[in-house]
Amino acid sequence: MTLSPRVRRTALVAHVASSVGWLGAVAAFLVLSVIGLRTNDSEVLRACYVAMDLLGRYLIVPLSLLALVTGVMQSLITQWGLFRHYWVVTKLVLTVGATALLLLHQYTAVASAAKLALGEATLPDALLGQLGRQLTMDAVLAIVVLMIATVLSILKPWGAIRVGTRSVAWYAGIAVGFALIVMIIVHLAGGGMGRHGQ
């Protein structure tokens, strides 16, 4: 695909900005979750949970989707390709997985925490502590995954995928995507995080 240098630069800036924004927003989410986990003040806890829901819904989710879309665009309009290099395939799998789990997390655990904060649901103290720990751990894991993706983007390790094995990378990507979808469906069907607020 032949595009002008200006379009290529614009696409690169959009990808970098959305990726960095996603990482920064998750870091802010982590700060709120740690404060919520450590506080004994119910008003502070309420404020943290409501802020985490708003941050996730209106900043983290859109940035994750934008980073995914612009990342795929970047791979298609540059020499790197979507399935030509191991680092690109690895980053794609990490980004798709992180985005899928984020969507699941946002509309189950985080939404449940916000409902608790607003008094729309109740939860025993033991489960409330478990929810707080889950929110914190999920944010830590998200930052680790996003940092790995950042390192892959900068270092570009492992080299090119041989032509004969590109179809293997393609099918592996489809298999990972399918596995994520099945995991989300099973998780939601079994209650998962969505039962916290009930």
What average pLDDT does the structure give for the chain? 84
Q: Residue 48's pLDDT is what?
A: 94
Helices 86-105, 125-155: axis angle to 10 degrees equals: 160
Residue 54 vs residues 90, 95, 139: alpha-carbon distances, Å:
30, 22, 15
**pLDDT one-digit tens code per residue, 69-96:** 999 999 888 888 888 888 898 899 889 8
Domain span at residue 28 reads 5-195
Higher pLDDT, 30 or 133: 30
How many CA atoms does the CB half-sphere of 160 hold within 13 Å? 7
Number of domains the chain is built from: 1
Q: How confident is the model at residue 117 (pLDDT cuts 50, 70, 90)?
A: confident
Q: How confident is the model at residue 146 (pLDDT cuts 50, 70, 90)?
A: very high
